[in-house]
Structure 1
Amino acid sequence: MKNRQSSRRSNQDAGATRRVALATLSGTVLEGYDFFVYGTTSALIFNSQFFPSLSPTAGTLAAFSTFAVGFAARPVGGLVFGHFGDRVGRKATLVVSLLMMGIATTLIGLVPNFAVIGVWAPILLVLLRFVQGIALGGEMAGATLLSMEHAPDGRKNLFAGFPQMGTPAGLVLANVVILTTGAVMPDSAFNAWGWRIPFLLSAVLVVVGLFVRLRVAESPSFEAAVSRDHVVARPLAEALKVGFPRLTVTLFAAVASGAVGYVFMVFSLSYGTSTVGFDRQFLVLCVTAAAAVWCCLIPFWTTVADRFGRRRMFLAGSVALLVAGCAFLPLMDSGSRAVTLVAFLLMGLVMPITHSVQGAIIADTFPVHVRYSGSSIVMQTGAIIGGGLAPMIALALQDATGSSLGVTFYVALISLVSLVAAVFMFRMPPVSLAEPAPLPDREPENQAV
Structure 2
Amino acid sequence: MQAQHRDVLSDAHSAPDAPANQMKRVGAAGFTGTLIEFYDLQIYTTAAALVFAHVFFPQLGKAAGTIAAFGTIGVVFVARPLGSVLFGHFGDRLGRKQTLVITLLMMGISTVLVGVLPTSEQIGIFAPILLILLRVIQGVAAGGEFAGAALLVSENAPPERRGAWSALPSLGGAASTCAAGITLLLTSLTMSDATFRAWGWRLPFLFSAILLAVGLYIRMRMTETPVFAKQVSRHGTSRIPVLDAFASQPRDLLLGCMVEVPAFSMLYLVVTYVIHYGVSDLKLPYTNVLLVTVGSGVVTFLGILVSSRLSDRFGRRPVLIVSNGLATVWALALFPILYSGTMTAYAVAVIVTLLIGGLIFGPVGAFMSELFHTRYRYTAVGLCYNASGILGGALPPLFAGPIIAAYGPYAFGRVLAILCFVSVCCCIALKETRGRSLDG
Distance 1:121 1:100, change over 3 A: same
Shift of 1:434: 7.5
Cα deviation 1:254-285 (Å, max 9, x = unaligned): 21211121001221111112222212222222
- Partner residue of 2:129? 123
- Partner residue of 2:416? 411
Distance 1:187 1:400, change over 3 A: farther
Question: Does 1:114 pair with 2:130?
Answer: no
Q: 1:229 aligns with which of 209, 226, 235?
A: 235
For 1:24 and 1:108, how far apart are their aligned partners in 2? 24
For 1:396 and 1:113, how far apart are their aligned partners in 2? 30
TM-score w.r.t. length of structure 2:
0.90
Pairing 1:208-219 to 2, within 5 Å after superposition: 208-219=214-225
Q: 2:270 aligns with which of 257, 264, 272?
A: 264
Shift of 1:349: 2.7
Question: Does 1:150 pair with 2:146?
Answer: no
Shift of 1:188: 1.0
- Partner residue of 2:180? 174
For 1:91 and 1:184, how far apart are their aligned partners in 2? 40
Query: What amino acid is aligned across from residue 409 of structure 1 in structure 2?
Result: R
Query: What amino acid is aligned across from residue 414 of structure 2 in structure 1?
Result: F
- Partner residue of 2:306? 300
- Partner residue of 1:324? 330
Report if the CA contact (8 A) 1:65-1:392 is conserved: no
Cα deviation 1:394-430 (Å, max 9, x = unaligned): 23334545x53454334223212222222223499x9
Report if the CA contact (8 A) 2:19-2:157 is conserved: no
Query: What amino acid is aligned across from residue 25 of structure 2 in structure 1?
Result: R
Query: What amino acid is aligned across from residue 296 of structure 1 in structure 2?
Result: L
Question: Does 1:44 pair with 2:76?
Answer: no
Report if the CA contact (8 A) 2:270-2:350 is conserved: yes
Distance 1:310 1:82, change over 3 A: same
- Partner residue of 2:261? 255
TM-score w.r.t. length of structure 1:
0.88
Pairing 1:375-394 to 2, within 5 Å after superposition: 375-394=381-400
Distance 1:10 1:126, change over 3 A: closer
Question: Does 1:65 pair with 2:71?
Answer: yes
Pairing 1:202-213 to 2, within 5 Å after superposition: 202-213=208-219
Distance 1:81 1:296, change over 3 A: same
Shift of 1:27: 2.4
Question: Does 1:425 pair with 2:430?
Answer: yes
Cα deviation 1:96-134 (Å, max 9, x = unaligned): 111111110111111222232222222111110011111
Shift of 1:204: 2.2
For 2:56 and 2:120, how far apart are their aligned partners in 1? 5
SS class of match (1:218) = coil
Shift of 1:292: 1.3
Shift of 1:54: 3.5
For 1:432 and 1:217, how far apart are their aligned partners in 2? 20
For 1:341 and 1:22, how far apart are their aligned partners in 2? 31
- Partner residue of 2:339? 333
- Partner residue of 2:355? 349
Query: What amino acid is aligned across from residue 112 of structure 2 in structure 1?
Result: T
For 2:439 and 2:164, how far apart are their aligned partners in 1? 23
Q: How many pairs does the alignment contain?
A: 425
Report if the CA contact (8 A) 1:43-1:267 is conserved: no
Shift of 1:325: 2.9
- Partner residue of 1:35? 41
Query: What amino acid is aligned across from residue 186 of structure 2 in structure 1?
Result: T
- Partner residue of 1:291? 297
For 2:339 and 2:426, how far apart are their aligned partners in 1? 31
Greater mean deviation of Cα atoms: 106-115 or 236-245:
236-245
For 2:403 and 2:191, how far apart are their aligned partners in 1? 35
Shift of 1:36: 2.4
SS class of match (1:262) = helix
SS class of match (2:340) = coil
Structure 2, unpaired ranges of 5+: 1-14
Identity of aligned residues (%): 36
SS class of match (2:257) = helix
Structure 1, unpaired ranges of 5+: 1-8, 436-449
- Partner residue of 1:196? 202
Greater mean deviation of Cα atoms: 346-355 or 403-412:
403-412
